[in-house]
Structure 1
Amino acid sequence: MITNTELEYKGDLYPTKIVDFKKEVDSVYFYTDNNVILKVTVLRDSLIRFRYTTKGYFSKDFSYAIDKKQSHGYNFLEVTEDINCYNIQTNKVICKVQKEDLRILITDLNGHSILEDELGFHWEESYHFGGNIVKMSKASKDGESFYGLGDKATQMNLKGKRVENFATDQYAFHKDQEPLYKVVPFYIGLQNNHSYGVFFDNTFKSTFDFCHERRNVTSFWAEGGEMNYYFIYGPQMQDVVTTYTHLTGKPELPPLWALGYHQCKWSYFPESKVKEVTSKFRELKIPCDAIYLDIDYMEGFRCFTWSKEYFPDPKRMVAELAEDGFKTIVIIDPGIKIDKDYWVYKEALEKDYFCKRADGPYMKGKVWPGECNFPDYTNPEVREWWADLFKELISDIGVKGVWNDMNEPAVMDVPGKTFPMDVRHDYDGNPCSHRKAHNIYGTQMARATYHGVKRFAYPKRPFVITRSAYSGAQRYTSSWTGDNVASWEHLWIANIQAQRMSISGMGFTGSDIGGFAEQPTGELYARWIQLGVFHPFCRTHSSGDHGDQEPWSFDEEVINITRKFVEMRYQLLPYLYTMFWEYINDGVPMLKPLVYYDQADHHTQYRNDEFIFGNQILVCPILEPNAMGRRMYLPSGNWYNYWTNELVAGKRELWVQTDFDQIPIFVKEGAIIPKYPIQQYVGELEFEEITLDVYFKNGKEKSVLYEDAQDGYDYNKGRFSLATFNLTGKDTELIIKQHKEGKFDTNYTNFKINFHGLPFKVKKIMIDKEQITISKASIATKSFIVDKNFTEIHIIGI
């Protein structure tokens, strides 16, 4: 432990010596002689919560971020006392609490330092607002790297950066701009191949400094509330991310169509324009599953209304779009127009559901409809009322999803672009000011929207997307990265944001393909599509003031590239759906930065561009104009070039040549990649077979395929199909064993097996120990058809 530091630092206050401690079940309390209490709670052997108070008692324990359904339990907990410290030991770590000043040192069981307080907990009294500005500083070691913090528009490794967490409407933001739309106060540290995580669950405006101000110090602080953080030990980054994702929760499976391609613009109206766009997709045979209606579908931008001029019969239109495979998504903002003849406004006014200023009047602000009041979504009664408002949209008209925008909350024509800080909130029975509620306002709106859409979409699954979010929002909603720009810099930013969000618990995320502001060139749009189809949420969106941004707005070459890559996404839907199942079942991120994939390889720690899509596909977008290839880093293992089938050894940098209609894509050797036939929308085709692309490996590899009815909740009753494929390859032999779980029987009957990289000529094929007769042509093309319920395929070569 470092030596004691002087207690006066910028006027801050510090804990003094411990005068008492007590243990209660899973918690240990430490009391200092200047009235500070530290409560250390062991939730799991590798998950410990640290909670501080300076007033001699703790306020009510409440968090919107923590998933109440998560399970806790540890294997071992022992508290011992030394001359200088108390030791709290679990099966994974030892937490030392200094008697002199309450500073913390966490080591592994071998005594290796994982996380150590520098100044530790300290605070500054906030004379302006009352309460404390709470602060924490940790000692950082040379070579330590930092990741996470949600969709920050900066390099993956946050070393040397300072970032802010205050949900802000940042139209046309730029690289390194702070703050942005979302608040995820969770970071991952990596040092000497040991990974840990810190989740600072405090909804006030907070700041993280990763050795920016002081070279070997990482610190975080908030403008109010408690010093309340969770420590997560790996030592693998995979374990840290999974534990954090379990802690803050996971979504339910989306309907499969939500993983298709979506088209959006500000704004598609009137109805004839909507039909023109959807018809063009079908004419050009570019697959598409969802069409979005922005604010112009409403009557004077009033939520839950329809413009009679632009959409005279929305129910008929939505039904006709559905017949052609399009699901209709509509925008709903938080601002409710002040209008005594507007039924939503009148209901909220009568029930006293709007946010109020400190002195009593309703919070009033200008957004799209003009002067508006804003529901207090932190009030459970308001959330219930809001959920019921979706009955007509979902049950009667047939809308399939809802898009929450402007929910930072954003307010126009005011300096701070949001509510005044004196606005009051219920906060689920914990009344507070907007200083505390600001960062979770958007999440609580999305939560209320989710429950409404789910209520009226049942027995189908809901789809909700939000712009603003706080940790835990992933339980209710998908997200996008906000109002970006049609620039090459923003293509780079979008790539990093999606990766960072994925390891920050919010996997179902994408960017506005092509850029929201300004106009992309055809080349930029094509390169963005080539990246966007590998993001969990895939949507083109643009503002209408600069021209059109549909795929056909560019030349024939761009149309063909768009079709090619969107078709690739639709073929990979079973792979993507399986990725999503692993995310919600096991807390595994769908996109994996290279450092997550192999943290022991130092070359991965500063890589930004390459990522693993799922478990077995490596993607590296082209991020510069006029490029016909690029340098990239292949992580450990051997990889097949997707386009050429060339097998390349990893753990090295290489130049990859590509055409304009390609980006570098590699498949891990041994992978078995499932593919559907190309469809124009999910559910368009009933197919007899799906393809399994088998990539040979001299060794062993496991692949999985999860399927269910693609919508509804029967999967919770065991009606799913989980196929596990175990591949074993030898010099002249290949064995694939299939194990199946679940009660769901897929509609197709066969697999078409395609082999890649077989190093031998096929002599015979045994299926479930019976030799099959195959034509010489099939052997030459290395593909054949097999019953989907096979147990073992044995390929014997010469």
Structure 2
Amino acid sequence: MDQTTKCKQLIRLLPGECWWGGRAADGKSMPYGTELFRADLDEHHYGNQACPLLLSSQGRYIWSEEPFAFRFEDGVLSISGQGELISGEGYGSLKGAFGQASRSYFPPAPGIPEELLFTAPQYNLWIELLYEPAQEKVLQYAHKVLEHGLPPGVIMIDDSWHEPYGTWTFHSGRFPDPGRMVQELHDLGFKVMLWVCPFISPDSRTFRQLEPAGMLLKDREGKTALRKWWNGFSAVLDCTNPEAVKWIQAQLDTLQQEYGIDGFKLDAGDAEFYEPDDQAFVPSTRSGHSEAWARAGLKYRLNEYRACWKLAGQPLVQRLKDKSHDWEENGLGALIPDGLAQGLLGYAYTCPDMIGGGEIGSLTSARIDPELFVRYAQCSALFPMMQYSAAPWRVLDEEHLAICVEAARLHAQFGSEILELARRASVTGEPIMRHMAYEFPGQGLEAVKDQFMLGGSVLVAPVIRKGMRSRSVIFPEGTWTGDDGSIVTGPAELEIEAPLSRLPYYRKG
């Protein structure tokens, strides 16, 4: 049964009821319900995806077309929003609530992102090249991938391959012959992505072209907005304006046509780079501007986003925000909870952050923890996608490098199975990476967030704590066959051996 109310709701929690949703970056705080928690979905998405959706373990959900704020306190969920709030109940379980919400409000679109994203590791050049990518460095990285036995996949050329921001042409000094580079990468078995963003350098020819055409966001005073982001101050493309979207897509189309570029990493677009009183072609919320930037990428099958609002069910790759080179906090310990949150928000085509962490401030060769790097790789291996950046052959010795190569090969071995799950997701809307409580309701698994299901049959239990060579695994009902050949009959909780070389996983019989 569903009902609609105006702007505010108070919901008393049922005994033992748990909730998920809102922002992917809050994964470690989920499930909600037992402690004080509050969030405002139009204020901050904390660098990752968000969706106006809350889901209950007891078959209830909340949806709105607009951002809302919510609070869990003393057994009550209070919600206030800018639009109508739709609540549903009677759908039995977390899976039932998700299915009803998905069918009703974000049904899956046909088609999936580029297949190679699922079947092979990805290689992002951010950590190795930072703001100085160059043609020969890109080719050298690709050759090193193959020399060390890693499978070829999508290679991503990150920030500063281009002229000033918004001028999406190759920097002639660093990339003297981009067509030849792309052809060589194709010959080696790679597909090629370029990093782009919605920012426009204010002292560029592009700015002088777009400003009088009305394609740039204006502030509350009607002046062209200059926003501070991690690379300085820039104007912002107004993607609520169809002409601005046509313009950016024309730049990207030209790169594909002239050089054979396969796709794009469409970065930024975070809600916090906008203000609620900005003047746009179509008035919008902070979150709405984030959504508009994400819609611009729907044209490209090979894509990646880190910040997104709504658009669950669409064939967009959603990467977890930059993680630190740490075990806890925003490091390895956040990969699984945040990845599970992505799936429960309707983002099926998920990718963990770069192996070892993509937050450059915490990742330097002087403090690389080889054990942490290996466990990052193993944890990522059976996500729907996995992504290297820091070159494992540079930062690791032979022993640890060999384990990372094995993790990459394991992902490739599972490639056809992951690809089939992606195809099913484009029909059913279901997550590829699933919460234990989603797949096995009523078995007390709501608080489990250090293991996950790949589809409905593979239980993955990575080691995510330093120094551990064993871990406890919770097995739901059924018969489970391990990667080590062991057989477990559930329900059970067992301590299993997990030496550094092992990623424990089990297939349901």
Match of 1:592 in 2: 434
Distance 1:596 1:588, change over 3 A: same
**Alpha-carbon deviations, 1:535-579, whole Å to 9, x = none?**
1132124xxxxxx54354211112111111111111111100111
Number of positions where the alignment pairs a residue of Structure 1 with one of Structure 2: 491
- Larger strand percent: 1
Aligned partners of 1:254 and 1:179: how far apart in 2?
Answer: 25
- Residues 508-527 of structure 1: pairs in structure 2 closer than 5 A: 508-512=349-353, 513-517=355-359, 518-519=362-363, 520-527=368-375
From 2, 13, 37, give the equivalent of 1:162: 37
Cα offset for 1:534?
Answer: 1.3
- Residues 496-575 of structure 1: pairs in structure 2 closer than 5 A: 496-512=337-353, 513-517=355-359, 518-519=362-363, 520-541=368-389, 548-575=390-417
Aligned partners of 1:384 and 1:479: how far apart in 2?
Answer: 23
8 Å contact from structure 1 (residues 440, 470) kept in 2: yes
**Alpha-carbon deviations, 1:327-376, whole Å to 9, x = none?**
11111111111235x2x334422421111123221112244675422121
SS in 2 for 1:353: coil
Match of 1:79 in 2: none
Structure 2 stretches lacking a partner, 5+ long: none
SS in 1 for 2:321: coil
CA radius of gyration, larger in: 1
Distance 1:369 1:198, change over 3 A: closer
Distance 1:596 1:511, change over 3 A: same
8 Å contact from structure 1 (residues 333, 404) kept in 2: yes
Cα offset for 1:618?
Answer: 0.5
Cα offset for 1:283?
Answer: 0.7
Corresponding position: 1:444 with 2:292? yes
Match of 1:352 in 2: 214
Q: Percent identity?
A: 20
Match of 2:488 in 1: 648
8 Å contact from structure 2 (residues 348, 429) kept in 1: no
Distance 1:167 1:216, change over 3 A: closer
Matched residue type, 2:325: A
Distance 1:167 1:485, change over 3 A: farther
Q: TM-score, normalised by structure 1?
A: 0.59
Matched residue type, 1:657: E
Aligned partners of 2:191 and 2:97: how far apart in 1?
Answer: 37
8 Å contact from structure 2 (residues 421, 455) kept in 1: yes
Structure 1 stretches lacking a partner, 5+ long: 1-45, 53-133, 170-177, 411-417, 454-461, 542-547, 670-798
Distance 1:484 1:163, change over 3 A: farther
Structural RMSD (CA): 2.2
Aligned partners of 2:418 and 2:483: how far apart in 1?
Answer: 17
Match of 1:147 in 2: 20
SS in 2 for 1:226: strand
Match of 1:419 in 2: 274
Query: Is the deviation greater in 375-384 or in 495-504?
Result: 375-384
Match of 2:116 in 1: 257
Corresponding position: 1:624 with 2:465? yes
**Alpha-carbon deviations, 1:65-111, whole Å to 9, x = none?**
xxxxxxxxxxxxxxxxxxxxxxxxxxxxxxxxxxxxxxxxxxxxxxx
8 Å contact from structure 2 (residues 49, 342) kept in 1: no
SS in 2 for 1:667: strand
Matched residue type, 2:297: T
Matched residue type, 2:125: K
SS in 1 for 2:55: strand
8 Å contact from structure 2 (residues 473, 496) kept in 1: yes
Cα offset for 1:473?
Answer: 4.8
- Larger helix percent: 2
Aligned partners of 2:434 and 2:352: how far apart in 1?
Answer: 17
8 Å contact from structure 1 (residues 447, 477) kept in 2: no
Corresponding position: 1:636 with 2:488? no
8 Å contact from structure 2 (residues 64, 83) kept in 1: no
8 Å contact from structure 2 (residues 49, 318) kept in 1: no
Matched residue type, 1:617: V
Q: TM-score, normalised by structure 2?
A: 0.91
Match of 2:253 in 1: 391
Match of 2:10 in 1: 137
- Residues 279-318 of structure 1: pairs in structure 2 closer than 5 A: 279-318=143-182
**Alpha-carbon deviations, 1:463-519, whole Å to 9, x = none?**
111121112254152111212211111211111111111122001112222112223
Aligned partners of 1:168 and 1:505: how far apart in 2?
Answer: 21
SS in 1 for 2:211: helix
Cα offset for 1:318?
Answer: 0.9
Corresponding position: 1:221 with 2:80? yes
8 Å contact from structure 1 (residues 440, 469) kept in 2: no
Distance 1:474 1:552, change over 3 A: farther
Match of 2:418 in 1: 576
8 Å contact from structure 1 (residues 301, 369) kept in 2: no
